Amino acid sequence: MKFKTINFDQLVKLKKIQNLSWHFDTISFQDFRKTKQIFKNEKYDGDRTTYDYDYDYYVEEDPEYKKNWTRFNHINSDHWMDEFRSLEDRYIEIEKEESRKKTKHKKKVIIRKKK
Instruction: Give the confidence band of 34 by pLDDT, cuts at 50, 70, 90.
Output: very high
Q: State if pTM tops 0.85.
A: no
Measured distance CA(51)–CA(46) in Å, rounded? 10
Residue 78: closest CA among 19, 12, 4, 31: 19
Sorted by where each begins, the domain ranges of the chain are 15-110
pLDDT digits (tens, 9 = 90+) for 49-86: 999 999 999 999 998 999 999 999 999 999 888 899 99
Residue 107: is its pLDDT beyond 60? no
| Sign of the torsion angle spanned by Cα atoms 59, 60, 64, 67 | positive
